[in-house]
């Protein structure tokens, strides 16, 4: 009988330890997400966020159309340019140009000044125009223009633009 009590006690302790270990090693469950309220009231920011996103997309589209028109105008009006890419950032315009191979030195500087003049004539609100004929900067500017066209806000590129053009002095008329 003493052996039976020992055996029952041993089984009970083993069962208790197994249960404790089993519960202790179970991953914690995260609480269920709160149900969404489909009633969009005055305090609901989802509608405001959507409106803000739509306005940003419209602003991006307008800026991109303006940039494309400006790039076309630059190529049409300035001799020696194969192609141009333009990015508007409020009162600053960044212009990358692909010059003909035979344009160097003073000719290149004159072309850059002419580009800056055209941009400022077209939009008097522009305070600063940066123009570069550097191939790497031109390519990066094209990539930024495509990203903006695809919906990324210009604010995400401001630091990169400033860093790219830090060594380029503004071309002003």
Residue 118 has pLDDT above 90, yes or no: yes
Strands 128-132 and 81-89: unpaired
Read off the pLDDT of residues 19-48 as tens digits, 9 standing for 90 and up: 777 766 666 666 655 555 555 555 555 556
The domains located in the chain, with CATH, are: 50-165 (3.30.70.1350)
Read off the pLDDT of residues 44-103 as tens digits, 9 standing for 90 and up: 555 566 666 566 666 666 777 888 899 999 999 999 899 999 988 878 899 999 998 887
The pLDDT assigned to 173 comes to: 45
Mean pLDDT, the chain, integer:
78
């Amino acid at each position: 009988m003493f052996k039976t009590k020992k055996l029952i006690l041993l089984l009970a302790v083993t069962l208790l330890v197994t249960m404790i270990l089993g519960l202790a090693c179970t991953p914690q469950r995260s609480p269920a997400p709160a149900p969404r309220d489909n009633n969009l009231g005055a305090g609901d920011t989802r509608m405001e966020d959507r409106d803000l996103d739509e306005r940003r997309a419209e602003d991006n589209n307008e800026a991109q159309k303006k940039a494309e028109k400006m790039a076309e105008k630059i190529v049409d009006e300035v001799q020696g340019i194969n192609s141009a890419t333009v990015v508007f950032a409020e009162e600053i315009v960044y212009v990358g140009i692909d010059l003909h191979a035979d344009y160097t030195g003073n000719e290149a500087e004159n072309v850059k000044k002419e580009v800056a003049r055209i941009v400022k004539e077209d939009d008097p609100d522009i305070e600063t125009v940066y123009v570069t004929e550097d191939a790497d900067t031109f390519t990066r500017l094209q990539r930024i223009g495509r990203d903006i066209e695809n919906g990324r806000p210009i604010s995400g590129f401001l630091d990169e633009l400033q860093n790219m053009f830090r060594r380029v002095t503004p071309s002003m008329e």
